[in-house]
């Protein structure tokens, strides 16, 4: 519903109809359209986090580049698979303070995970200690996130594998990591 109609145009009557419940039943579970949207986004964000963690674990013994490629592939796949709601989430964050806060928290969790990954790569000698992990993580997650948003918003003609590979090369080059 939200992916099809957008955040502002979605109506409780339409949500109830699509769910196959009486309009009054909606209010048994949710106080407002904003509340159901937040619940949906929280569930989606958790699914995205879990899928990303699983992919990185699968290549934990790989090269630094292989880990970056797997993480970017997982993220782009999940974003693209959920593109309608992901685009609405980004847009709704400009209209609703609670949605904006949830978006900010999700972004901060992603940056924190990447900071830890960069610090591990620095400890392993794959990344120079001269690179500030927080600055790098913020810039690199922003690059991939913005690419995914623009790709899905404009329905750009990008191929997933090539997109993941190109973004991963940029990411690795920024950190001084060798690429194949």
Residue 164 makes CB contacts below 8 A (sequence gap 6+) with 69, 72, 73, 76
Res. 56: pLDDT tops 60? no
Q: Is residue 11 part of a domain?
A: no
CATH of the domain at 135: 1.10.357.10
Q: Is residue 180 part of a domain?
A: no
- Give yes or no for a contact between 55 and 69, defined as CB atoms under 8 angstroms apart: no
Q: How far is CA 44 from CA 38, 96, 119, 139, 178, in A?
A: 10, 18, 28, 23, 33
Digit-coded pLDDT (tens) for 32-54 = 888 888 888 888 888 777 665 54
Average predicted confidence (pLDDT) for the chain: 88
Res. 166: pLDDT tops 90? yes
- Give yes or no for a contact between 70 and 56, defined as CB atoms under 8 angstroms apart: yes
Domain count, the chain: 1
Q: What is the mean pLDDT of residues 161-167?
A: 98
Digit-coded pLDDT (tens) for 78-130 = 999 998 888 888 889 999 899 999 999 999 999 999 999 999 999 999 999 99
Q: Which long-range contacts (CB under 8 A, 24 or more apart) does 163-167 make?
A: 163/76, 164/69, 164/72, 164/73, 164/76, 165/69, 167/72, 167/76, 167/143
Structural domain boundaries enclosing 144 = 32-175
pTM of the entire structure? 0.83
Q: Is residue 106 part of a domain?
A: yes
Q: Is residue 20 part of a domain?
A: no
Q: Is residue 24 part of a domain?
A: no
């Amino acid at each position: 519903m939200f992916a099809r109609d957008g955040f502002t145009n979605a109506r409780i009557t339409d949500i109830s109809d699509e769910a196959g419940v009486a309009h009054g039943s909606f209010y048994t579970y949710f106080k407002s359209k904003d509340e159901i949207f937040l619940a949906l986004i929280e569930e989606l964000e958790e699914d995205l986090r879990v899928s990303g963690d699983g992919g990185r674990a699968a290549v934990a013994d790989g090269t630094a580049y292989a880990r970056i490629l797997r993480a970017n592939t997982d993220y782009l796949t999940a974003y693209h698979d959920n593109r309608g709601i992901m685009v609405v989430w980004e847009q709704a964050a400009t209209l609703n303070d609670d949605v904006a806060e949830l978006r900010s928290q999700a972004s901060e969790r992603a940056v924190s995970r990447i900071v830890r990954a960069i610090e591990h790569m620095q400890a392993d000698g794959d990344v120079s200690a001269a690179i500030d992990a927080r600055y790098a993580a913020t810039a690199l997650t922003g690059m991939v996130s913005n690419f995914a948003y623009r790709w899905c918003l404009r329905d750009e003609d990008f191929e997933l594998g090539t997109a993941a590979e190109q973004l991963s090369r940029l990411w690795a080059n920024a950190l001084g990591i060798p690429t194949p």
